[in-house]
Amino acid sequence: MSRLAKQPIALPASTEVTVAGGVISVKGPKGTLTRRTHRLISVEVGKEGVQVTHKGETIEARAALGTYASHVRNMLEGVTKGFEKKLFIEGVGFKWDVAGKTLKLSLGFSHPVVMDIPEGVTVKADKGALIISGFDKEAVGQFAANVRAHKTPEPYKGKGIRYDGEIVRRKQGKKAA
């Protein structure tokens, strides 16, 4: 069983957590997040903070306990501080541009790749960096993964889209005979 899940989760000063009908709602200065609870998990809001407990002693209930405690922590952090992912692009002629709620990628294909930016996610494009931010950790991470999936870094020259801090293992090319 998760040791972190046993302890109550402290509420930041400007947040409000409500639990009704199996749905957790977290409201803060950056926005509001909601999530359905698992059938084996119960969430209570008390003086010390938010307490996540399991309803049974099954393996599934114990496994879901730590997961849902982590979800609540991420929701609280998201509505107070927010989340951010930074992507870098490397390659001749590779570029990106943000126009309204769309992201246009030029990745060496015969056509530009156009992606819609989801609600609650903001994107800023610099010359070689793309900053994706928002208050929902899952939405920010999924959009960053979708952008990266269009041109993952290749191991010979390192061209492609990579995360900030990601190390691309390089391979040695062909040897001249």
So what's the pLDDT on residue 130? 95
**Beta strand ranges found along the chain (DSSP E):** 16-20, 23-27, 32-36, 41-45, 50-54, 83-90, 95-99, 102-106, 113-116, 121-125, 129-134, 160-163
Domains of the chain as residue ranges with CATH? 3-80 (3.90.930.12), 83-163 (3.90.930.12)
So what's the pLDDT on residue 2? 66
For the segment 86-99, what is each residue's pLDDT rounded down to a tens digit? 999 998 989 999 99
Retrieve residue 63's tokens.
């496994």
Q: Is the pTM of this model over 0.85?
A: yes
Distance CA 19, CA 37 (A): 9
User: Torsion angle of alpha carbons 157, 103, 130, 73, nearest 10°?
Assistant: -120
Q: Could you tell me the pLDDT band of residue 113, with boundaries at 50, 70 and 90? A: very high
**Percentage of the chain with pLDDT > 70?**
98
